[in-house]
Amino acid sequence: MVFNFRGLAFKQSLMILASITVIVGLIFGVMTSQMNDKLTQMAIDNGEEISQANVTYIDNLFNSGKHFGEEVGATLSKEEMSKEELDEFLMQTLSNARSIVPQIVAIVVAFEPGMGPETPKGEFMRLARFVDNETKLITGANYQDKEWYYSTRDGRSSRWQEPFIGEFVPEPIAVYAVPIFRKDKNNENVLAGVLAVDLSIEFLKETVSNIHVPNSGYAMVFSSKNFPVAYPKAVMEGKKDSEIVVKEIAKIKQVDFDKTKKADNGLFLGTVAGGEESSIYYTTMKSNSWTFMVVWPAGKFMEERQNMIKLFIAMAAGGYGAMLIIILLISSRVSKPLKELAVAAKELGEGNFDVTIPDITGGDEISEFATAFSNMLKELKEHIEKQKDMKRIERELDLARNIQLAMLPGEERDENSDDDRHALAPFLRPAKEVGGDFYDFFKTDNDHLCVVIGDVSGKGVPASLFMMVARIILRTMTKNLKSIVKAFNKTNYALAKRNSLNMFVTIWAGIIDLRTGHVEFASAGHNPPVVRHKDGTVEFVKSKSELVMAAMEDIVYKQQTFDLQSGDTLFLYTDGVTEATNAQDQLFGDKRLLETLQKGGERSTAETCSLVKKAIDSFVQETPQFDDITMLAVQFNGSDEPVWERYEKTIDVSGKNKSELKSFVENILTPMDGAKKMMMQDAWEHYEKIVDVIPENQDILTAFVEGILAPMEGSMKSQMQINIAIDEIYSNIVKFSGATKVTLIVEVRKATLTARLTFIDNGIPYDPLKQKEPDVTLSADEREVGGLGIFIVKKTMDSVCYRRNGNNNELAITKTL
């Protein structure tokens, strides 16, 4: 497994670590600051403790020395002594002083020139010094330029001098110098000389060296001018006094150590003699402004701190590592099942519905998710299976609807029922679910047009099948019996006889006499049709509605009649029209239907149907259509024009016509695609050729027709049969009609592979359909040679029609290629 740096586990771990770092950093910061404060406080307390006793001791000494000096100075100011007296005084004083402050090693008195006892004009300096356990008197000289002298003389005030090694007292001493004043004759104070008390500071070195400071520290004493007075020798080995300087490291200031403020005490970070960094606690001594310092070299102190930090960092680093590993482990335990699920989801996305969902237990969110995921997969699978079933059912319903629609006649030309005396247009819009509506129209003979509309109870495939059976029985019965009531009775009987599902069908059917407009009709529980008269008035046909078909076997329907006038339109419909429902649950209703038909005025039959359809659509708006909407409009024209005679071939189901039937069925069963549906609405293509009536022109006509039909890719046989038909018909015209011109109109519709050829000649009236058919059962010797040609045409073409139109013979043949 490649570690994914963008993975959930890594991201999560990183975030947790970052948070921990921030928290630990804060704790560390606070701890460090606390620790520093604590350490500082400790240093201060420690320093104070160590310093206090020593500072008090030193201060006492120096105060005593000072006090002593002041006293002696005052005595000398008052009394003028002789040399001997002075010597005596000095000796006595030193002896007294040492009994109080043993560190006092000498008392010095020096006069301004001419002010001394012995040499009035010159210098006089005399000192009593304690050396080698005895007191000696020494005369000194050249003191005028000594600092202790002139600074006191010029300053005219007493004070501690910076320690130095004296000329006559050759050891480190601190000197307290007091000016000696005398009154002159004007009674003014005149400086007579300086008294100096020499305090040996050698003892300080020892005292300081012996101060025990914990944590490797030590004590030091500096003069008021920061001259090192006392320090442990061992620490400052090899250093000259001038090198022993205390410097503050300003930037790591711990306590406000500001010498200008002359704070009495404090703690600061600094260096001693350029040495290592140290914490230094200082106390300024009141008696002489000297400084007592306690020094802790940072080394150890810092080292401890450093060690603590190091330990802390090491612990943190180790902790981090451990934590990272733990978090990674936890995270990957979380993310691993997620990753597995992701892989499964990916496979699922690629269409593998058999993918195994990793079995994740633990009752946590991820196992919950896995369970949900696997449930989803299961439901998805089921859903898809269901969808497949739905698809199959939908396909079958679609097929059923195709069959249903294909069985219904499309237009009159297909049904060969068209003529000039009427016009007809059907309309059927199926509901989403296959319904049981149907219409039908056909001629029972040349002058009688039968129109049918019906509605089978219920919906779906059963209704659809029942509808087809009802329609075909009624059609066959009507064609054969040529009586609407007889056909109704027979059809009803046939349907009722085997009707275990108790379905029924409402039918309105009428036979229109196209010569007179007389209509004989019957109604099996169906809505009465509407007639729109030529004058624009609209009314329902007075139609007595009888029992629905297929309900009872022995129903006898009554024949009803009415008459259509020339220009009247008969409008048949199913309850899908009047019971179309809008969103407010209102029905389209009879009133709206009548209004629509009336408002529409005079229209073609197709326009009438589409007008009603539009009215319904705008009434129901978006409400889905629940029932089939079916209409059939017939306009009766009653023309005097000659009528086509018709010869229609019926398909012989037995024997050699099997292939024809098969292709018919195949046509229906093949679901129509969009393109084919479009093509169904293709107009007929129209071609025309006029030739002189001479035998040779037959070739021209044959070639003309072949040129049109060849691209349609019909069967070779159909083509050949059409060629023969042309031969027979044209040769008849040439031989018998006496015509001079022949017009051949070829009409084809590619979608249905249908061709219609109409021959128009101006010869004498000749109706080939009236010719006696030859008896094909006779023997060769008995057979006549004539009459065969038209017979062949009638047998091979789908239909043959003839009419005499004015001065012309019109002969039309149709053929499916």
In terms of Cα–Cα distance, which of 171, 167, 91, 170 is closest to 134? 91
What strands lie across the sheet with 530-532, from one edge to the other?
Answer: 422-429, 629-636, 569-573, 530-532, 538-540
Contact present, 716 and 645 (Cβ < 8 Å): no
Binding to another protein (CB under 8 A): which residues in 384-443?
none
Closest distance of CB 740 from another protein, Å: 18
Q: Does 656 bind another protein (CB under 8 A)?
A: yes
- Of the pair 751, 788, the CB lying nearest another protein is at 788
Closest distance of CB 627 from another protein, Å: 47
In terms of Cα–Cα distance, which of 238, 237, 241, 217 is closest to 229? 241
- Of the pair 510, 763, the CB lying nearest another protein is at 763
Q: Does 692 bind another protein (CB under 8 A)?
A: no
Q: Does 583 bind another protein (CB under 8 A)?
A: no
State which of residues 117, 371, 792, 816 lies at the interface with another protein (CB under 8 A): 792
Quote the DSSP letter at residue 194: E
Closest distance of CB 776 from another protein, Å: 3
**Choices 85-93, 136-144, 493-501, 715-723 (CB under 8 A): range interacting with another protein:** 715-723
- Of the pair 523, 718, the CB lying nearest another protein is at 718
- Give CA angle at 668 (666, 674), nearest 5°: 110
In terms of Cα–Cα distance, which of 527, 505, 620, 509 is closest to 573? 527
What strands lie across the sheet with 518-524, from one edge to the other?
Answer: 437-445, 448-456, 505-513, 518-524, 560-563
- CB-neighbour burial class of residue 186 (10 A; exposed 0-12, middle 13-18, buried 19+): exposed
Q: Does 653 bind another protein (CB under 8 A)?
A: no
How far is Cα of residue 43 from the mean position of the Cα atoms in its chain? 64
Closest distance of CB 614 from another protein, Å: 50
Q: Any bridge partners for residue 293, and if so which?
A: 220, 282
Q: Does 780 bind another protein (CB under 8 A)?
A: yes
In terms of Cα–Cα distance, which of 82, 113, 228, 247 is closest to 162? 228
How many residues interact with another protein (rule CB under 8 A)? 32
**Choices 157-165, 520-528, 723-731, 744-752 (CB under 8 A): range interacting with another protein:** 723-731
State which of residues 233, 381, 533, 795 lies at the interface with another protein (CB under 8 A): 795
Q: Does 720 bind another protein (CB under 8 A)?
A: yes
Q: Does 133 bind another protein (CB under 8 A)?
A: no
Q: Quickly count helices (H) and strands (E) in the chain.
A: 17, 29
Between the alpha carbon of residue 792 and those of residues 564, 696, 788, 800, the distances in Å are 40, 22, 6, 11
Q: Does 723 bind another protein (CB under 8 A)?
A: yes
Q: Any bridge partners for residue 636, and if so which?
A: 422
> For residue 497, how many other CB atoms are within 10 A of its CB?
9
**Choices 234-242, 266-274, 281-289, 780-788 (CB under 8 A): range interacting with another protein:** 780-788
Closest distance of CB 732 from another protein, Å: 9
Q: Does 789 bind another protein (CB under 8 A)?
A: yes
Q: Does 321 bind another protein (CB under 8 A)?
A: no
Q: Is 708 helix (H, G, I), strand (E, B) or coil?
A: helix
- Three-state SS string over 586-650 comes to CECHHHHHHHHHHHHCCCCHHHHHHHHHHHHHHHHCCCCCCCCEEEEEEEECCCCCCCCEEEECC
Q: Does 657 bind another protein (CB under 8 A)?
A: no
Closest distance of CB 753 from another protein, Å: 18
- Mask 694-713, x = binds another protein (CB under 8 A)? -xx-xx--------------
State which of residues 234, 653, 675, 785 lies at the interface with another protein (CB under 8 A): 785
Q: Does 649 bind another protein (CB under 8 A)?
A: no
Closest distance of CB 802 from another protein, Å: 18
Rounded CA separation 576/567 (Å):
27
- Of the pair 217, 714, the CB lying nearest another protein is at 714
Rounded CA separation 445/480 (Å):
10
Q: Does 730 bind another protein (CB under 8 A)?
A: yes
- Mask 195-224, x = binds another protein (CB under 8 A)? ------------------------------
Closest distance of CB 734 from another protein, Å: 8
Closest distance of CB 793 from another protein, Å: 9
Q: Does 714 bind another protein (CB under 8 A)?
A: no
Between the alpha carbon of residue 76 and those of residues 101, 495, 788, the distances in Å are 20, 166, 187
Closest distance of CB 783 from another protein, Å: 6
Rounded CA separation 643/767 (Å):
12
**Choices 142-150, 260-268, 271-279, 785-793 (CB under 8 A): range interacting with another protein:** 785-793
State which of residues 251, 674, 779, 806 lies at the interface with another protein (CB under 8 A): 779
- Of the pair 389, 775, the CB lying nearest another protein is at 775
Helix (H) or strand (E) holding 803: strand 799-805
Helix (H) or strand (E) holding 404: helix 365-407
**Choices 81-89, 195-203, 419-427, 727-735 (CB under 8 A): range interacting with another protein:** 727-735
In terms of Cα–Cα distance, which of 496, 479, 485, 489 is closest to 440? 479
State which of residues 774, 804, 805, 816 lies at the interface with another protein (CB under 8 A): 774
Q: Does 663 bind another protein (CB under 8 A)?
A: no
Largest interatomic CA distance in the chain: 208
Q: Which residue has the tokens 């089939």?
A: 628
The DSSP string of 718-769 is HHHHHHHHHHHHHHHIIIII--SEEEEEEEEETTTTEEEEEEEE-SS---GG
State which of residues 392, 717, 741, 770 lies at the interface with another protein (CB under 8 A): 717
- Of the pair 493, 791, the CB lying nearest another protein is at 791
Interface residues with another protein (CB under 8 A)?
656, 695-696, 698-699, 716-717, 720-721, 723-724, 727-728, 730-731, 734, 774-781, 783, 785, 788-789, 791-792, 795-796
